């Protein structure tokens, strides 16, 4: 089958389409004919050996696919051949077919395009978990939510979901075009995501600070966001898109009763899959309902054939556009 296969750590710009054996359908698994596969910053790190997971060679990278179930393995009962699904994988996604455990496969709503469906497993599930799960932010209607990196994939999802949950959303982004975009997606206020000015800009609108924050950029922006928190506020360091892992000043947490909540979706989807399968199914059902009601609006910024996957990573690195990057398996 057509695939991207890695035999050694590789720069994303050197990835090439090749021919690889198709997946076998193990116990409890389904095979999916892939129509769309997501690419992301973390996938770019994975293929270079710079991610927390380091699969054995050779492997096919790709942790998110959307498509149609074409086979079901022994003991897999949740899906039938022909079902339209999105799936979370440990690897194997950048290929014409992929196998996934049925616990990590989720039905998608009628009419949902496959490329948009991939975003349910990239940005939207992470942000919905961060905002709604009781042990994470547990965001309530009327609370103030700060979203940094608001022009990015998770940032846009956070603005949309924060708004639909009834929160008052303050979006921080680095360009005026991205701030205007955040307003269109439901932000009540927008501010410049400059670490030097963020605290004052936020407090101009909310003197007490914000009740909750999602921070995907890391580095100095996380530190600035921490200083925007109201007493008893809760913040999620969702990612480090800027490259620097922030150090957390514990004195600030102590004096303001702030909670920093860790969230790594790979734990719920892969490491502790069996334990959290019900929680994940409920999350994807909610996301599907929100999409069907028009409450979340995924944006695809780039669609590419598999053979041009390296251009997709260049696009992600340059951040020239907004929206998600997706490999369209039907395109040549």
Ligand X SMILES: NC(=O)c1ccc[n+]([C@@H]2O[C@H](COP(=O)([O-])OP(=O)(O)OC[C@H]3O[C@@H](n4cnc5c(N)ncnc54)[C@H](OP(=O)(O)O)[C@@H]3O)[C@@H](O)[C@H]2O)c1
Cβ proximity to ligand X: between 96 and 117 the closer is 117
Cβ proximity to ligand X: between 256 and 281 the closer is 281
Instruction: By CB under 6 A, name the one of 149, 233, 288, 312 that touches ligand X.
Output: 149
8 A C-beta contact, residue 303 and residue 326:
yes
Percentages (nearest 5) of helix, strand, coil residues in the chain: 35, 25, 40
Could you tell me how far CA 41 lies from the centroid of its own chain? Answer: 10
Structure tokens at 45: 């790190």
Instruction: By CB under 6 A, name the one of 174, 203, 256, 303 that touches ligand X.
Output: 174
Instruction: By CB under 6 A, name the one of 4, 6, 25, 41 that touches ligand X.
Output: 41
Instruction: By CB under 6 A, name the one of 20, 30, 217, 229 that touches ligand X.
Output: 217
Let me know if 332 is exposed, middle or buried by CB neighbors in 10 A (0-12, 13-18, 19+). exposed
Site for ligand X contains 67 (CB under 6 A): no
Q: Where are the beta strands (DSSP E) in the chain?
A: 2-4, 17-19, 29-39, 64-72, 84-88, 97-101, 105-107, 144-147, 168-173, 189-192, 210-215, 229-237, 259-260, 300-304, 324-328
Instruction: By CB under 6 A, name the one of 198, 226, 265, 302 that touches ligand X.
Output: 265
Q: Minimum distance between the CB of residue 129 and ligand X, rounded to whole angstroms?
A: 8
Say whether the peptide bond before residue 58 is cis (omega within 30 degrees of 0): yes
Instruction: By CB under 6 A, name the one of 64, 123, 143, 310 that touches ligand X.
Output: 123
Q: Minimum distance between the CB of residue 267 and ligand X, rounded to whole angstroms?
A: 8
Site for ligand X contains 163 (CB under 6 A): no
Binding stretches for ligand X (CB under 6 A): 41-42, 123, 126, 149-155, 173-174, 178, 193, 216-217, 221, 238-242, 263-265, 319
């Amino acid at each position: 089958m057509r695939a991207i296969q890695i035999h050694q750590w590789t720069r994303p710009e050197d990835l090439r389409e090749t021919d690889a054996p198709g997946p076998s359908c193990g116990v409890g698994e389904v095979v999916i004919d892939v129509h769309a596969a997501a690419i992301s910053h973390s996938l770019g790190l994975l293929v270079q050996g710079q991610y927390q997971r380091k699969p054995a060679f050779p492997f096919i990278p790709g942790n998110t696919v959307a498509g149609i179930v074409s086979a079901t393995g022994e003991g897999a009962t949740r899906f039938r051949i022909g079902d339209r699904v999105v799936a979370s994988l440990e690897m194997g996604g950048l290929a014409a077919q992929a196998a996934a455990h049925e616990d990590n496969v989720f039905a998608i709503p009628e009419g949902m395009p496959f490329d948009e469906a991939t975003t349910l497993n990239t940005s939207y599930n992470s942000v919905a978990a961060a905002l709604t799960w009781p042990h994470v932010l547990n965001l309530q209607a009327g609370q103030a939510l700060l979203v940094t990196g608001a022009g990015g994939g998770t940032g846009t999802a956070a603005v949309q979901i924060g708004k639909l949950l009834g929160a008052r959303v303050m979006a921080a982004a680095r360009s005026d075009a991205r701030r205007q975009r955040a307003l269109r997606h439901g932000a009540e206020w927008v501010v410049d995501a400059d670490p030097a000015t963020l605290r004052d800009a936020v407090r101009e609108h909310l003197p007490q600070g914000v009740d909750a924050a999602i921070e995907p950029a890391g580095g100095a922006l996380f530190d600035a966001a921490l200083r925007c928190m109201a007493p008893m506020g809760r913040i999620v360091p969702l990612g480090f898109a800027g490259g620097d892992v922030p150090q957390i000043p514990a004195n600030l947490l102590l004096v303001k009763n702030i909670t920093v909540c860790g969230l790594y979706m790979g734990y719920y989807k892969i490491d502790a899959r069996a334990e959290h399968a019900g929680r994940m199914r409920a999350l994807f059902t909610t996301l599907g309902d929100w999409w069907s009601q028009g409450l979340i609006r995924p944006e695809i910024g780039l669609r590419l054939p598999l053979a041009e996957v390296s251009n997709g990573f260049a696009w992600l690195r340059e951040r020239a556009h907004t929206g998600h990057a997706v490999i369209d398996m039907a395109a040549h």
